[in-house]
């Protein structure tokens, strides 16, 4: 049997294989509300044969958006729009759906990527950003406002409210975004956190706010439904956040009931130095898994079925996250199953398309996942 297509469990959530569709920002929401683009985009991915679909970074406050077009869950209107989209998906797919709850911190108030991605000026539709410390992401950007105690409480409570809304619309799992230089990552890294209070300085202090957010979300999201986290295992900058600190963070998360660690890297500093190659982040996922025993999701230029198979078969990670390759080839799990001699879940409307040489490729996508 293919290791990649073997079943797995996260908490009470049964997964039919080890393929996770990682979050991919679409910058296509209106006032945080999902649009027809999300219905088309997520519907397409829900028919791909993967085991779990994680919805893009979803802002817990308006000022926590990366761009004005980010998806949100800060309001009941946001929840109603996303819930309607999920209802459409569930008519035709039983694939579990998670959401990545996020706050961009000092990287908020930015133009869309295809419009350059720069910080939007205050007089041109931008807004004041917040962070652990008044340090801008780029040297030529305006500084964020440092969060005071009341601000920390507002952000934590916003994560809680978003998690409650996610539960109310039937989201199957939550992933907290503590990677890629966004707010929770900003608290973790000594490059962005120079506070002198209980939330800065020592590693214990820098972990404090992200752990408080995790505890608060775990407390309100239904028991048995997974709550995990995405981290950047390293800043790729000397003196910044690194793998050893990531292991300590992961161990603290495990003690609090974290269900999985989604292991990425970078994004905090323009000074990062990364050498890209297929699986370049795998050593981080493998080490965290070995040191903590937590289920890990490996991600990072994993585009070939044989590579993904080897990752799971060798125990480097429990699950494989695919993102950009899924945009390029939304049937990547079908093609992986064909290469590995496995079955993949597909909607009956598509059964007639399986190649003559692969008559047993498809299983019924309507059953077996929830």
Residue 369 has pLDDT above 50, yes or no: no
Residue 370 has pLDDT above 50, yes or no: no
Read off the pLDDT of residues 147-164 as tens digits, 9 standing for 90 and up.
Answer: 999 999 999 999 999 999
Tokens read off for 359 = 């008559």
Beta-bridge partners for 110:
119
Give CA–CA dist 146/324, Å, rounded.
Answer: 34
Read off the pLDDT of residues 38-49 as tens digits, 9 standing for 90 and up.
Answer: 999 999 999 999
Non-local (6+) Cβ contacts of 218 within 8 A are 227, 256, 257, 258
Read off the pLDDT of residues 228-275 as tens digits, 9 standing for 90 and up.
Answer: 999 999 999 999 999 999 999 999 999 999 999 999 999 999 999 999
Rg (CA), the chain: 20
Give CA–CA dist 132/183, Å, rounded.
Answer: 8
Average pLDDT, the chain: 96
Instruction: Decide if 94 contacts 366 (C-beta within 8 A).
Output: yes
pLDDT at 368: 46
Read off the pLDDT of residues 67-113 as tens digits, 9 standing for 90 and up.
Answer: 999 999 999 999 999 999 999 999 999 999 999 999 999 999 999 99
Q: Which of 251-257's residues contact partners 24+ apart within 8 Å by CB, and which partners? A: 251/291, 251/292, 252/207, 252/211, 253/211, 253/214, 253/229, 253/294, 254/292, 254/293, 254/294, 256/211, 256/214, 256/215, 256/218, 257/218, 257/227
Region 184-189 average pLDDT: 98
Give the chain's domains with CATH numbers: 8-344 (3.20.20.70)
Q: Is 182 a catalytic residue?
A: yes
Give CA–CA dist 31/79, Å, rounded.
Answer: 12
What pTM does this model have? 0.95
Write down the catalytic residue from 27, 182, 280, 328. Answer: 182
pLDDT at 366: 63
Instruction: Give the pairing of strands 344-346 and 362-364.
Output: parallel
Instruction: Decide if 324 contacts 19 (C-beta within 8 A).
Output: no
Residue 281 Rama label (left phi>0; alpha psi -120 to 50; beta): alpha
Residue 9 has pLDDT above 70, yes or no: yes
Tokens read off for 209 = 């706010």
Read off the pLDDT of residues 273-304 as tens digits, 9 standing for 90 and up.
Answer: 999 999 999 999 999 999 999 999 999 999 99
**Helix H segments across 121-198?**
149-168, 183-188
How many CB atoms are located within 10 Å of the residue 339 CB? 14
pLDDT at 359: 81
């Amino acid at each position: 049997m293919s290791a990649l297509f073997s079943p797995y469990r996260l908490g009470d959530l049964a997964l039919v294989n080890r393929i996770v569709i990682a979050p991919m920002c679409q910058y296509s929401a209106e006032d945080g509300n999902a649009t027809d683009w999300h219905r088309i985009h997520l519907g397409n991915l829900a028919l791909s044969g993967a085991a779990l679909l994680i919805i893009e970074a979803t802002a817990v406050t308006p000022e926590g958006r990366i761009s004005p077009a980010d998806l949100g869950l800060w309001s009941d209107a946001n929840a109603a729009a996303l819930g309607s989209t999920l209802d459409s998906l569930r008519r035709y797919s039983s694939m579990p759906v998670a959401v990545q709850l996020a706050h961009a911190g000092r990287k908020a108030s930015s133009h869309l990527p295809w419009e350059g991605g720069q910080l939007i000026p205050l007089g041109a539709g931008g807004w004041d950003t917040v962070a652990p410390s008044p340090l801008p992401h780029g040297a030529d950007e305006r500084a964020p406002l440092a969060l005071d105690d009341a601000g920390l409480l507002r952000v934590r409570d916003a994560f809680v409210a978003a998690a409650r809304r996610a539960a109310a619309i039937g989201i199957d799992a939550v992933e907290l975004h503590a990677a890629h230089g966004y707010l929770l990552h900003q608290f973790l890294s000594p490059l962005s956190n120079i506070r002198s209070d209980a939330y800065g300085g020592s590693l214990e202090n820098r972990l404090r706010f992200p752990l408080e957010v995790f505890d608060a979300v775990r407390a309100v999201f239904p028991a048995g439904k997974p709550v995990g986290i995405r981290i950047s295992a390293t800043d790729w900058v000397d003196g910044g956040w690194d793998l050893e600190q990531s292991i300590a963070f992961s161990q603290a998360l495990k003690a609090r009931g974290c269900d999985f660690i989604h292991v990425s890297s970078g994004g905090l500093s323009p000074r990062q130095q990364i050498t890209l190659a297929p699986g370049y982040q795998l050593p981080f996922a493998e080490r965290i898994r070995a040191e903590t025993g937590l289920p890990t999701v490996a991600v990072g230029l994993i585009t070939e079925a044989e590579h993904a198979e080897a990752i799971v078969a060798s125990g480097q990670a429990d699950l494989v996250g695919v993102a950009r390759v899924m945009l390029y080839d939304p049937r990547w799990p079908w093609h992986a199953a064909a290469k590995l001699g496995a079955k993949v879940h597909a909607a009956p409307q598509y059964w007639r398309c399986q190649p003559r040489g692969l008559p047993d490729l498809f299983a019924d996508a309507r059953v077996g996942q929830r």
